[in-house]
Amino acid sequence: MTRGALVAIEGLDRTGKSTQTEILIKTLKQQGKAIELIKFPDRTTQIGQLINKYLTDKEFRLSDQSAHLLFSAKRWELVEKINNLLTQGVTVLLDRYVYSGVAYSAAKGLDFQWCLNPDLGLPKPDVVLFLKFKDDGNMKRGGFGEERYEVDEFQKKVKVMFERFDGDNNWRNLYVDGKSIEEVREEVWTHVVKYIDGLDTNVQLFK
């Protein structure tokens, strides 16, 4: 039986993840493909609401470790749903995932492996599209500075942590510098098209 593919879109803030995921969903739906978008953090459940408070209210204090574990708990809350969708042949598109979880927390100084540990056993994406600026281009875009992590110095540290995943066989760097939405869309498509008809192999787990 063919299962759906697990595709993650990752990147710093303001790199175009949400724009590209929306376009991709629309394209795949137009082609009659079964696809579902899951955004992390999803802010609707009780855990999600706590995370939302943490991100938007700077007076709300949590230790870095407990904040980290909440984001991980958020993923574990949805793992059954993800697995069920994949089994049913649905392609699951993740807007942020484990990689953001590790990168944003490790950027605060927490140990990289410690950050990954609570996510071990989660389904591992078949492909990760990392939307990336060569320079600090995301910081020059508008809409920055409203939430906890939207600070230039911090974004630079997160970038370094994200890059530690570069080299994994599922990792694809997509440079967005100076490219239009349409140009990035085409590149996203060339990476995703190989996966949209499903896979015969079992989904891998983080280990």
CA 8/CA 163 separation, integer angstroms: 15
CA 117/CA 106 separation, integer angstroms: 12
Helical H runs in 88-200? Answer: 98-106, 112-116, 137-140, 152-162, 181-192
What is the pattern of x (binds ligand 2DT, CB under 6 A) and - over residues 54-93? -x---------------x----------------------
Q: Does 162 bind ligand 2DT (CB under 6 A)?
A: no
Q: Which is nearer to Mg ion, 75 or 96 (CB)?
A: 96
Q: Which is nearer to ligand 2DT, 149 or 175 (CB)?
A: 149
**Whose CA is closest to 95, among 32, 201, 188, 205?**
188
Binding positions for Mg ion, rule: CB under 5 A: 13
Q: Which is nearer to ligand 2DT, 140 or 194 (CB)?
A: 140
Rule CB under 6 A: choose which of 20, 21, 91, 100 binds ligand 2DT.
Answer: 100
E runs forming strands in 78-183 = 91-95, 123-124, 127-132, 171-175
DSSP structure class, residue 118: G
Instruction: Specify the stretch interacting with ligand 2DT by CB under 6 A; choose among 99-107, 109-117, 160-168, 184-192.
Output: 99-107
Other C-beta atoms within 10 Å of 170: how many? 15
Residues lying near ligand 2DT in the complex (CB under 6 A) are found at 13, 40-41, 55, 71, 96, 100-101, 104, 149
